Structure 1
Amino acid sequence: MPIQYNFDLKNANTLGLPAVASHFLPLTDPAQLFELCQNPGLKALPWRVLGGGSNLVLPEQINALVIAVALKGRRLLREDDEAWYVAAAGGESWHEFVAWTLAQGWAGLENLSLIPGTVGAAPVQNIGAYGVEVKDCLYELTAYSLADGHARVFSAAECQFAYRDSCFKQAEAGKWLIGEVVFKLSKSASIKTNYGDIGQELAALGLPLSASAVAQAVINVRQRKLPDPAVIGNAGSFFKNPVVTAELRGQVLAAHPELVSYPAGPDHYKLAAGWLIERAGWKGRQLGPAGMYQKQALVLVNHGGATQNDIASLTAAVQADVKEKFDVELEAEPVWW
């Protein structure tokens, strides 16, 4: 078993935080997990599953076995009159997988283009963008128990998806490694262009309406608004858009008529976290080596040398100011180890 010791994870998390794992293993075969489960010394350690590192806030020292999911493969399982059923291994790049499905002529995931991370991590967070979430197309997934290595198939319903949430962040947190995900891509999928700047970008591109054109529009918008982690450390959108009661939304709207919000079920609204953060004065502002991005207030960035403690301090300061100004609670999206 190729366990590596005191492994440097600075380049394995997109925030670029300094982090060292006491034990590290790239998992290339599910059978390795079963072997790990037979090792009493390793079982005595906490275990952590690492995907693309794009949604993590890491401490400087991780006294645990970090298992990096490096499972590869993607294929068409089957198709019927209604849909294509497409499988991808947990270690596949999410964006590359989306691009591959579009190249085959299978629509449905185009709005989720250019989201960093892996296929296996996508259901954990129920990643979403521009009016689409992973739950909209996910059919089932195969996960492996971190207790004994056995496989279990979870249906979409069993994943208990919610906004940026799933059972893998709640009741099943820390218990599973997602090895393969199957997507049901409808042959009659409708193209969604009415969210954010997508329609405007499509018009600027002048391309015929298609799933691939939407993907290109999404890519253009994301590249314009979001920093490249290779240039400046970040974890993408750092805070969830808060869902509030109609009453609270009304109170904020009365004081701030320009509030950006969307219906989110009976008597509830989703507020734009980026708008709240910008109006609270944090767009482009730093606290030590960390700050909120100058082009998009929702993105927290590492200007160089930041640690988990620096990220925690900035997070708390932004949350406190938004709470004071709008009486709205902000919740951070990333997972903290």
Structure 2
Amino acid sequence: MIVEQNVPLQAHNSFGIVAKARQLVRVRSQEDVRQLLADPQLADRPKFVLGGGSNIVLTGDVKPLVLKVEVMGRAVVEDGPKASIVEVGAGENWHGTVGWTLEQGLPGLENLALIPGTVGGSPVQNIGAYGVELQDRFESLDAIDLVTGKTFTLDAAQCAFGYRDSVFKHVAAQEGDFGLAGRGLILRVRLRLPKPWKPVLGYADLERKMNETGVRAPSAQQIYDWICAVRGAKLPDPRVIGNAGSFFKNPTVTQDQCSDIIAREPGIVHYPMPDGTVKLAAGWLIDACGWKGKSVGNAGVYEKQALVLVNRGGATGGEVVTLARAIQTSVYERFGIRLEPEPVVV
């Protein structure tokens, strides 16, 4: 177990916000967690689990003990006639893992290319893009209880996946509740890649690529390349411009609510959902309120995609939060819709 003092976190959060961890433990195995819990000076400290830092906004130095997850490794653990199962350490880079599966001849994750963060963060957020969510490719995960030190395994049902949601984002309000926020640290994730592979193509950006190239039956590698190109054109590289990707969830409304909004705003981008609700494009709502390219201090709204808030250089977490709240107020006043942020404010 490695314990470090006053560790700069600017390189460990994709917004690039300057902050420090007063103490940081690098978790490279479950044994590191057990040693931590056996240490009387550390065991009872409040803890903050940090993966790739792609879904957080730091508003100051982190006082809880930071557990930096660095469990590595990738392996194909099952290759059956109906699916292949791959097991990946929670500290592995998500996008790198998508590329690795394709190199192994195992398609299925290509629609999730170029999503920032680590594999361990993918089930917490139930990441998704271009018609595929993590839950669609999830088999199970191994985690460790930060109170008892016991390891446990969860399947998809036990993870309680929802839209950008899971059991890892909820705190148990009382004894018996199954909330694991702040308590469960994910060690490994197993992904199920179904056979035969079927492309998921029902998005305008992919349809546009098919029309441009004349390829009507793209391979998984072609879809991967297209999505990397599309995301690269729309979204800023966190290594160049600090950001946390999509900052707000796309809100869902009833069909009646959508019809009412369309009557006032015929151009609103919306997607009918299987359950009868309608998903609205949060980026369109923000753009319609005139926020694209605007700033609050050094935090701004990306010029190419209004759903992305960026660090224009030296932004504080407070500036990011102030900007986000101003956007929420504008959208609510115009559309009567409350936008919900995706990142966690720390």
What range is the shorter-chain TM-score in? Answer: over 0.9
Q: Which residue of 2 aligns with 1:9?
A: 9
Q: In the aligned structure 2, how far is the partner of 1:205 from the partner of 1:149?
A: 53
Q: 1:81-110: CA deviations, max 9, x gaps?
A: 101011101001101111011111111110
* SS at structure 1 position matched to 2:41: helix
Matches within 5 A, 1:167-178: 167-170=167-170, 171-178=179-186
CA distance in 1, matches of 2:337, 2:319: 23
What is the aligned partner in structure 1 of residue 77 from structure 2? 77
TM-score by length of 2: 0.95
Task: Give the conservation status (yes or no) of the 8 Å contact 1:284–1:294.
Answer: yes
Contact 1:201-1:221 at 8 Å conserved across structures: no
TM-score with structure 1 setting the length: 0.97
Which one-letter code corresponds to 1:322 in the other structure? V
1:195 maps onto 2:183 in alignment: no
Q: Is the 8 A contact 2:29 2:187 kept in 1?
A: no
- Which residue does the alignment assign to 2:49? 49
Report what 2:136 is aligned to.
Answer: 136
5+ residue gaps, structure 2, are: 171-178
Match of 1:219 among 228, 235, 256: 228
Once the two structures are TM-superposed, the CA of residue 206 in structure 1 deviates from its matched residue by 5.2
Long gaps (5+) in structure 1: none
Partner of 2:68: 68
What does residue range 1-337 of structure 1 map to in structure 2 within 5 Å? 1-170=1-170, 171-205=179-213, 209-337=218-346
Partner of 2:173: none
8 Å CA contact 1:126–1:133 kept in 2: the answer is: yes
Give CA deviations for 1:230-283 in whole Å, capped at 9, x if unaligned.
111100000000011222111111101111111124341110000000001101
Q: Residue 292 of structure 1: CA displacement?
A: 0.7
Contact 1:113 1:219 in 2 (8 A): yes
Alpha-carbon distance in structure 2 between the residues aligned to 1:93 and 1:2: 21
CA distance in 2 between partners of 1:126 and 1:247 (Å): 28
Aligned pair count reads 337
Return the alpha-carbon distance in structure 2 between the equivalents of residues 201 and 132 of structure 1. 18
* Cα distance in 1, alignment partners of residues 47 and 317 from structure 2: 19
**Rounded Cα–Cα distance in structure 1 between residues aligned with 2:330 and 2:133:** 29
For 2:269 and 2:11, the matched residues in 1 are separated by 36
Deviation at 1:189, TM superposition (A): 2.7
After superposition, the CA RMSD in angstroms is 1.2
Name the SS for the 1:5 alignment partner: strand
Are residues 136 and 261 of structure 1, via their aligned partners in 2, closer, same or farther at CA, if it must alter by over 3 Å?
same
CA distance in 1, matches of 2:128, 2:277: 19
- Partners of 1:267 and 1:29 lie apart in 2 by 44
Whether the 8 Å CA contact 1:202–1:217 is kept in 2: the answer is no
